[in-house]
Amino acid sequence: MDKHTTQPSLLDRLKAHASSNSIPMHMPGHKRNTALLGTDLPYNIDITEIDGFDNLHGGSGILNEYMEEIADFYGTKRSFYLVNGSTCGILAGVRAATKRGGKIAVARNCHKSVYHAIELFGLEAVYLMPEMDEAFAIHGVISTASIANTLKKHPDTQLVILTSPTYEGVVSDIAAIADICHAQGIPLLVDEAHGSHFNYSQHFPASATALGADIVIQSLHKTLPSLTMTSLAHLTSDLIRPEELARQLAIFESSSPSYVLMASIDRCFSLLRDEGDQLFEAYNQRLTDFSEKMEQLQHLKVLCHGKDRLDAHKTFFAFDKGKILISTQGTGLTGQKLSEMLRSEYHIEMEMAYGDHALAMTSVCDTDAAMDALADALLAIDGTLDSKSGGHTLYNGTLLFSLPEKQCEIWQALESEKIDCPIENAIGQTAAEYVWAYPPGIPLLVPGERISNGFIRQIHTLLEKGIKVYSDAEGLPKNIRIVHHKILAH
């Protein structure tokens, strides 16, 4: 099926409607009145579900046809447009695959939206701890052994959830993990928010959509040319009923989806379907050239680029070379300081900085000039550095260094009586709020987990390095919200 090539794109349809003499006696309230509001924002193509433009929730016309073509291209059973970001896809996917109060196995480095699903649906979480990569002090993969052991101990698990690739680009062995899950009839949900480009080129790891994952959530806007909040949810097997996933999406996604955002999804897919081969070849060449230049670094290191190789990281199954993770270990710089130097001196805005790391995200839309500028800036900064003694400390990053002890379920902690406690007195207490650094949005502490001395030292270290640490009650760094111990004892 190739309907798209024989009919106008959604954007073309919206433009045609905007130029028609149709009088909008419907939402939205701006009424496409560009004479009053101007044209800086796309008012003229921002419509609601009117005749001829289908309905995302229960589509039977053009939107359904567009989603069917994506499913055909990706080889999935169903694919869904998401305009509330990957978060709504994760919430819907978890709910569609589990029963209230059921048990799920969750990689502890998952995005906070996964924990919100656990909270909302009263689930019992069994955590999978990723392996640690000592060279860069970041999380590696979720091992197949940990999956197998966990499911052996917890055969009543209803769903397995993991993130691949991670924020830093680390990819787990999804095919092997899917086989382990399916041997027990358990579905696998993969948060592939940072891997939406995997479907389009052999230069990158294979997508979980082709490796046996049952539900795959992708953020188009993270690594592909699509507007912010645009994502896809894919269903690949019969373990999850498509009508149930669609029903849950209607709950967690806006009932007034933006046609501007949906047109962005359509345009992104059409561009990559028609020109993806050429775009990704050029993208791969830019990354190859960048990596070759990074071989000149003497002090800074770039993960799996330059002199650093994939085979040096035993806890990686594969790696997304589109992620540029720079380590300042042993240079006297923090990742935050490096990011500030790149911003102020070279006009380069990084994606994220924490601990000894700074992260640049790339895509097919980066230009040769942009990649050259990043490479030249890193080489120039590297030339000013001296190697210093010392390396990574246990608490220098925002990611977990060990699995916290769970004392009760998330929802139990949040529904208990809570008190604010001075952080220095909180060791051994049970957390009653989330604590996280954003990005990447991975909770450092989850409600129901025991507050350890290591956690408190980590928080102080992050704050000293200028990294903003968030909590629900906004009491840090002085106070943290805990479960009243008398309540927990009952």
Domain ranges of the chain: 3-98+169-270, 279-382, 410-489
CATH of domain 279-382: 3.90.1150.10
Mean pLDDT, range 151-159, rounded to an integer: 98
Mean pLDDT, range 327-354, rounded to an integer: 94
pLDDT at residue 1, as a whole number: 40
pLDDT at residue 6, as a whole number: 57
10 Å CB burial of residue 311 (0-12, 13-18, 19+) is exposed
Mean pLDDT, range 477-482, rounded to an integer: 95
pLDDT band of 354, cuts 50, 70, 90: confident
Which CATH class, in words, describes the domain spanning 3-98+169-270?
A: alpha beta
What single-letter amino acid sits at 472?
A: D
Mean pLDDT, range 311-318, rounded to an integer: 96
Distance CA 367, CA 166 (A): 24
E-state strands within 77-152: 78-82, 103-107, 124-128, 132-133, 138-139
pLDDT band of 462, cuts 50, 70, 90: confident
Query: Which tokens is 76 given?
Result: 């999935």
Average pLDDT of the chain is: 93
Superfamily of domain 410-489: Orn/Lys/Arg decarboxylase, C-terminal domain (3.90.100.10)
Give the tens place of pLDDT for each residue, 57-68: 999 999 999 999
CB neighbourhood size of 60 (10 A): 9
Give the tens place of pLDDT for each residue, 123-140: 999 999 999 998 998 999
Q: ∠ CA 284-288-290 to the nearest 5 degrees?
A: 115
pLDDT at residue 398, as a whole number: 45
- Report the percent of the chain where pLDDT is more than 90: 87
pLDDT at residue 399, as a whole number: 54
Distance CA 18, CA 90 (A): 34
Closest CA to 165 of 36, 64, 266, 304: 304
Largest CA distance in the chain: 71
pLDDT at residue 403, as a whole number: 85
Q: Which stretch of DSSP H or E encloses residue 181? A: helix 174-182
pLDDT band of 245, cuts 50, 70, 90: very high
User: Who has greater pLDDT, 414 or 355?
Assistant: 414
Q: Phi and psi at residue 191, in whole multiples of 5°?
A: -80, 95
pTM of the model: 0.93
